[in-house]
Chains A and B, each alone.
Chain A
Amino acid sequence: MLKMTRRTALLLAASIITLSSAASAQESSSEVWTYWGSGAEKQAIESVVALDNQKHPDTEVTHRVIPGNTLEMRRQLQTALLGGTPPTAYQSAMGYELKTFVDADQLASIDSVWKQVKGDEIFPRGLQRVVKIDGKPYAIPLNMGVISNVFYRKDVFDKLGLQPPKTIAEFDAVCDKLAAAGIAPLGNASGPFWSMYNFYAPLLSVLGPDGYFKMAQGEVSFTSPEIRKAFELYRDTFVKHYSKNWSGKTWAQGGDDLVNKDVGMYMMGDWVSAYMKERGLQPGKDYDFFPAPGIGKATLIQVDVIATPKESKTSDNFLLTAASTEAQASFNKYKGSIAANLKTDPSIYDYVGQKEVKQLQASEAENVVLPNLFFLLPTNLGSEMGNQLERFASDPSDATLDTVLKTLEALRLQDKEDDAFVNW
């Protein structure tokens, strides 16, 4: 045993030597941080990084994966920003996420880059609104995911002689027919996002696009008759048709249900298309999508943007690359999402993507490409709303609805008092 202790002592000594030698090496950080950590998403961002290094060899950047999600990204940023070692650029959400960092004096406005790439012309107007704080742009949108479409099994619809529904009444009828054929009409999944995304269509059908932005700005009371009506409409169009046990599934398990024809329809972000393709289904043949009933001309998008901390120096070049159609084409081709830069060549898209681009163009013509409300509300209210909607979807009683609305209204008033809302 004594021998072992001596060995350990040696090890200790060795470690001290290594320690002192390691101490001299400091990190230079020209890094791009994302949580695209694997598969096609990782290839997507790395293709942009490679392109940038080719275009701007003087300001070389490397990609660093921050495993996790927005929360872990924030934690890492907090550590790095307080420690004075910011990344060159990082993956961020739009809207309130940017606002928080701007208020904390951590983000640099990217005015010059924005002008150079003609940001006011290449991105959808609804999206431009939410990467600007007080009129100044702070981030370059990289990709869009449409979250307002309902995916359905085309083969099942064909077999039952069903048409994609256009109105709420038709949707209801389709659901009933699917149920009669022994297929659960609609899938859903657990977590604060999915029920909330499903809720947007009823919300828009009640409030309209202007009301939607008013809500984002804290001007609509949760206890108003309109909001109650939206919740009730959500219950009567969506919640009542959800498959049994949806609340015990992840979004991917919900996707499996659609693949396995356990459900006939699934309202989910368009990433579920990539998921089904990977599982051998053919878009346009095995499955297809239609806009959520009640949504009107609007299309809702979830967006990833690239932001740059104030202290970073080489960021302009990376942002220029990220905004280019070349990078956007390469990124979105891998990821299977839609380029935020509308000038990007649409030939990169598959069936679903091309159809979505047309949909987005139609919405853009009416200026109703709407960003995800979750990221427009103050962070605490957005998160709470997601949780409360999940709660309501699993227990859609009037009593729950009362509590849900009261909880949210209290929070809205508090945020109002703290002057937390943004006029997008």
Chain B
Amino acid sequence: MSASSLPADRDAPIRFAAAVLLSAVFLAPLGMALLTSLKSPAEIVQILSLPHRPDWGNYAVAWNQIGRSFINSIAITLPGALLSVLVGAIGAFPLSQLRGRTGMIIYFFLLTGMLVPYQIVQVPLFDLMRHLGLYNTIPGMWLVHTAYGVPICTFFLRNFFASVPKSIFEAAMLDGCGPAGYFFRILLPASKSGLAALAIIQSRSIWNDLLFAMTLTSTDRARPVTVQLNALTSGLEVQYGPLMASTLISIVPVVVAYLVFQKAFVRGMLGGSSK
């Protein structure tokens, strides 16, 4: 840890070596997944063996299984993540400003939501979504992910907004900028790296959601990748080759999302919080 604050020239090689070593540990399980995805069933019994001849058949099976749902997942995740971050920001802003009891109570109340085990909300939720006519629709999934994202997004951004110095707010007020103006013109741009981090976290959690998708979608019209991916492990035998192949395919969009939002991190820093 201390290494990061030493002058770069002296410890750069040490940090680089540490990063390489850690990367190897982080990659080992994935490397095994990659190997497995290239093996025929007969070869999988030898856990650590190299595939005799790369068997791309697993990728064909995988794509066949998840291809259609891939598009659904993208259509659910992108708007879902953006909407939930937006709603979270809207909720977090007043909570980061209100310092009285009211603010604290509302905040506490929203936080309890984070502790509700999602398994228990499924039946009432199913009824609700059917009554709204949103069962098995992609917009329905946006709504659900936005709603269930409220506690975590509010919590996340409230704390992030708290790291923006108070003096900026006061200066803005003196400049005659209302709270809404401050929120849109100053606070949001100043919190870009936080918003981007949250967007990554939300994208990943929406992309990986299985429970809500199982309850609220039934056909190819709205079924996401996770449902199809899990089908590979249901029944008696787990289809390891196709499972690993589809896993590797399915994490690509999340990594892309990470890289895209990651850019916003950097821009957030360069743009700075100056008005």
Using a CB–CB cutoff of 8 Å, the interface residues on chain A facing chain B are 1-2, 5, 8, 11-12, 15, 18-19, 22-27, 29, 31, 35-39, 41-42, 64-69, 72, 75-76, 78-79, 82-83, 85, 250, 252, 255-256, 259-260, 269, 271, 274-275, 278-280
Contact = CB atoms under 8 A, between A and B. Distances in A.
Contacts of B227: 65, 67
B41 A279 contact: yes
Q: Tell which of B65, B82, B132, B235 has the most Cβ of chain A within 10 Å.
A: B235
Given A22-B133, A25-B137, A1 B82 contact: no
A22 B65 contact: no
A62 to B, nearest CB: 8
26 contacts: A1-B184, A5-B184, A15-B142, A22-B139, A25-B137, A26-B133, A36-B234, A37-B233, A38-B65, A38-B234, A39-B235, A42-B235, A64-B218, A64-B219, A65-B231, A66-B234, A67-B210, A67-B214, A67-B227, A69-B234, A72-B234, A76-B214, A82-B127, A278-B41, A278-B42, A279-B45
Interface string B121-159: 011001100101111111110110000000000000000
A260 B138 CA distance: 47
A153 to B, nearest CB: 14
B79 interface: yes
Interface centre among A19, A25, A269 (most CB of B within 10 A): A19
B184 A280 contact: no
B215 interface: yes
Interface stretch (B29-37, B164-172, B236-244): B236-244
A26 to B, nearest CB: 7
B135 A256 contact: no
A25 B132 CA distance: 11
Contacts of B134: 19, 22-23
Contacts of B238: 250, 252
Contacts of A250: 238
Interface in B80-124: 82-83, 86, 122-123
B139 A1 contact: no
Given A38-B235, A79-B122, A252-B238, A279 B214 contact: no
Contacts of B142: 15
B198 to A, nearest CB: 14
B179 interface: no
B232 interface: yes
A278 B40 CA distance: 9
Given A1-B188, A23-B134, A24-B133, A65 B123 contact: no
Contact of B230 (A37, A79, A271): A37
Given A11-B79, A39-B237, 15 more contacts: A1-B184, A8-B82, A19-B139, A22-B139, A23-B137, A27-B135, A27-B218, A29-B218, A37-B230, A42-B235, A67-B214, A68-B214, A76-B214, A82-B126, A271-B237
Nearest to A4: B188
A79 B239 contact: no
Contacts of A278: 41-42
B230 A68 contact: yes
A261 to B, nearest CB: 11
Contacts of A39: 235, 237, 239
Contacts of A24: 133
Contacts of A280: 42
A67 B231 contact: yes
B236 A271 contact: yes
Contacts of A25: 133, 137
A27 B136 contact: yes
Nearest to B133: A23
Nearest to B233: A67
A41 B232 CA distance: 11
Interface string B185-227: 1001100100000000000000000100011001100000001
Given A38-B65, A279-B41, A79 B236 contact: no
A416 B82 CA distance: 55
B58 to A, nearest CB: 12
Nearest to B216: A79
Contacts of A66: 214, 234
B136 A37 contact: no
A260 B49 CA distance: 13
A64 B184 CA distance: 46
Interface centre among A36, A39, A252 (most CB of B within 10 A): A39
A69 B238 CA distance: 12
A83 B235 contact: no
B106 to A, nearest CB: 23
Contacts of B210: 67
Given A22-B134, A39-B239, A2 B232 contact: no
A26 B105 CA distance: 40
Given A5-B188, A37-B230, A12 B83 contact: yes
Contacts of A64: 218-219
A244 B40 CA distance: 28
Contacts of B215: 76, 79
Contacts of A271: 236-237
Contacts of B65: 38
A37 B137 contact: no
A24 B139 CA distance: 13
Contacts of B44: 279
Contacts of A2: 184-185
Contacts of B192: 1
A275 B237 contact: yes
Given A22-B134, A252-B237, A1 B232 contact: no
Interface in B15-70: 41-42, 44-47, 65
Nearest to A7: B82
A11 B230 contact: no
A38 B239 contact: yes
Nearest to B238: A252
Nearest to B236: A271
Nearest to B188: A1
B230 A256 contact: no
A18 B139 contact: yes
Most A CB contacts (10 A, CB to CB) among B42, B79, B231 go to B231
A27 B238 CA distance: 31
A260 B45 contact: yes
Given A22-B133, A278-B41, A36 B235 contact: yes
B76 to A, nearest CB: 11
